[in-house]
Structures are given as C-alpha cells and as structure tokens.
Amino acid sequence: MPETIEIPPRTGTAFRLQKGQRLRVIDPQGVQVSDLLAFNAHDTREVISNGRTLDYASRLYLTTGDPLYSNRSNIMLSIVEDTCGRHDFLLTPCSKDTFRIIYGHTDPHQGCFGNLAKALEPHGIQPDQIPCAFNCFMNVPIDVKTGMFTVEPPLSKPGDYIDFTAEMDLIIAMTACSAGLSNGGTFKPIQYQISDQ
Amino acid sequence: MPETIEIPPRTGTAFRLQKGQRLRVIDPQGVQVSDLLAFNAHDTREVISNGRTLDYASRLYLTTGDPLYSNRSNIMLSIVEDTCGRHDFLLTPCSKDTFRIIYGHTDPHQGCFGNLAKALEPHGIQPDQIPCAFNCFMNVPIDVKTGMFTVEPPLSKPGDYIDFTAEMDLIIAMTACSAGLSNGGTFKPIQYQISDQ
C-alpha cells in the first residue's frame, strides 16, 4: 500500500511526480476541494492549461479517461479513476484578492494561491506563473441561459478519490482549499498517495 | 473620427493602449471572431486572466459594465459598450495544435496563437506567456447538464462592435481569427479604432 500523506486544512504542498507514476487525491471527510497544478519538471514554463484542455474536450466537466493538456498542447496528466465525478477547471485558486473582492474580508487569508506560491517557490516557480488549477471535487454548476454560475458544496463523500497518471515528469502542487464557499463552510484536510502502478 | 485600422483575415497585430484610451473592436462583415490579449505595458508578467475575471463576475458571458482582470487581480480593461452581446472567455487561441487535434489537419495553419506570438515578439513577450484570450464575438453555448459545449457561428452582424477602456497602460494583441468553426466557415477581416475619449 502506498503511503497516505495528509495536507492540513487551508495549506498546500508541492512534490515531484515521475512519468508513469499514479497520483491519488483523496477527500477523507467529504465536501472538500483540492486545487491541483502541474508544471513540466524540466521546463516550468510549460504548465497545465484549462483553455487547451477544455477546448480539446469540448466539455466543461472532466472525469475518467480525460487528458489534461499543457499550454504547449502536450498531455501532462490523464484521469484514470474518479469516484466523485464532479470537478471544476474554470476558476482560479482562491487568493487574498478573492477574499477581498468576493467575501469582503479586510484581513484576508492568503488562500490556495498563497499556499501554492509558497509551496512552488523552492522549485523556482514564481506566483505570476500560477494558472487556473484543476480543482478536484469543486462543484460549479452553470445556468446555461444566463451563463451565471455558483460555487456549491462538493458532491464528494468521505473517501472519494480521483486518480491521475503522469504523462511526463512533473512538479505537482496541491492544496486543501481555503475558501468557505467551495467547501460547504468548513475547512478540512486532503490526502494523497503516489504509487508506481 | 478615429482612424479605422483593418486586420486582414487570419492575421494578427499588437499595439500600445494607454490608460484611459478607448479601443473599439469592429466586426465589419459580421460572423467573425477576434482574439484579444492584454499585458501590463510596464511588466508583461501581468496578463489578462479569464479565471480571475470569471470568478469575480460569477458569469461565463461578459458584456457592457464588466471589468477584465489580470492574473494579479487588477482591472486591465472595462467593457463600456457592446452591440453584439455574446463573446467567449473560455477557450484558448486556435493554434497549429488546435488544427491538428480538433480538425485533423496534417499541415496546420499557425492560427491565432501563432499570429499573436509573432505580433508580441517585438514587445519581448514569449509564446508561453500567452493565456486564454477574450474572444470578441465568439459564440460558445453550453449544455448545462452535460457541460458539453459547441463552437457556433458568431451572433455578430456587420458593423457590430465592442468597446473597452484601458484601466492601465497596456500592450494589446488582436487577431482576425483563423479557425473555420469559430467564424461560420469563412475568414474575414477585423477592424479597430483607438480614441482618447
């Protein structure tokens, strides 16, 4: 059994994932989002791209069988198993600005953006390089007529997970999301496992 | 009257837009998309961000009154007039890879991405810095249940336009889009005007 590593509530981490390895992102308590980023480990200017991925998928909601593309149109990760089935690839990591603009907080938390920036700094990746994340378990339904969307509690139950296979050597950054709206009003941990398959 | 400048079919251009200036993007023949990018003229690592913008708007489709944010959550442009009312801010500029992956072309056109990259090179901006564009007049309806979307002909009629005010000094890049699906199967010019208001 691969080791289970826990990301405490409202924090983030970053690590290497080698080509061919499998990453399992687990929501241990349910109703908790994890923002996930991927960078080419050998050239960090190549980064996960929601625009490329959604364009090629012609679909907003991704699940088992879907590839996640980079800004250079290379496949970085493939989704190989998914017990939840609802994730978001539209919105940016929550940040000080999110809490200021959307929540009206006067002393805002650094959010997933700050946590990702801190975790990526030792890998030589600057905050400006952080794109839209693949937001595991995030639930963003859309009103098709108006285009309005809302951020609703995740559909994930305790123990739900999503598995990715690395299609190139990667630096992965992940959070246990810090935004109340995204997580049903509570802040919970996220777990992950890495296996060689 | 401000000068009207034409962007020939399947090409692109880039220029400075000073804070306070107004940019009008015109579809002279109708049913033609223009991909639009914005960079902070004084620090080109700051760039237009669909994720930040859509997150703060809570809406996929933007029009008059909506601000367009940067990756640093600063307002770069404001939409101040819009005679069409349907644009896209979801998809990346079409590229060689778009034509290879979606269209199956064996000798693909460089697309808006290649045209934007070429136009931005003299400004010291690298291809990897190109994010999702604000796609003026692009029509991407979504099926709310499945999340599937399609690229349909623009709703723009001849002479329709969208006006932006610059909220900071910008480098703007724009195209007359090169993708058949986006433009009702034909490739037409785009025009623009810059005025001091």
Contact B139, B152 (CB under 8 A): yes
- Give the number of other CB atoms < 10 A from CB of residue B99: 20
Do the bridges between strand B75-82 and strand B67-69 make them parallel or antiparallel, or are there none, so unpaired? antiparallel
**pLDDT for the residue A134:** 98
Contact B190, B175 (CB under 8 A): yes
Nearest to B91 among A51, A95, A142 (CB): A51
Q: Which residue's entry shows tokens 């009702």?
A: B184
- Is a pLDDT exceeding 90 seen at residue B197? no
Per-residue pLDDT of chain A (197 residues; tens, 9 = 90+): 899 999 999 999 999 999 999 999 999 999 999 999 999 999 999 999 999 999 999 999 999 999 999 999 999 999 999 999 999 999 999 999 889 888 889 889 999 999 999 999 999 999 999 999 999 999 999 887 788 999 999 999 999 999 999 999 999 999 999 999 999 999 999 999 999 97
Cβ under 8 Å to A: B residues 167-186 = none
Nearest to A49 among B58, B61, B92 (CB): B92
Q: Sort out which chain B residues have CB atoms less than 8 A from A131's CB and list them.
A: 51, 131
B56:A143 CB<8 A: no
Residues B192, B172: Cα–Cα separation, whole Å:
12
As a whole number, the mean pLDDT across chain B is 96
The residue of chain B nearest to residue A72, with distances taken between CA atoms, is B128
- Compute the nearest-CA separation of B54 from chain A (Å): 7
- Compute the nearest-CA separation of B149 from chain A (Å): 5
Residues A149, A134: Cα–Cα separation, whole Å:
17
- Is a pLDDT exceeding 80 seen at residue B175? yes
Residues B188, B197: Cα–Cα separation, whole Å:
28
- Give the number of other CB atoms < 10 A from CB of residue B174: 28
**pLDDT for the residue B164:** 98
Apex A38 CA angle, A180 and B40, nearest 5: 80
**pLDDT for the residue A145:** 77
Which site among B128, B130, B139, B177 would you substitute to test the A interface, given the most A Cβ atoms closer than 10 Å to its Cβ?
Answer: B128
Read off the DSSP letter of residue B60. S
For residue range B87-137, list pLDDT tens digits in order: 999 999 999 988 998 888 988 999 999 999 999 999 999 999 999 999 999
Nearest to B143 among A92, A144, A149 (CB): A144
**pLDDT for the residue B153:** 97
- Is a pLDDT exceeding 80 seen at residue B149? yes
ipTM of this model?
0.92
Asked if B97 is an interface residue toward chain A (Cβ–Cβ < 8 A), one would say: yes
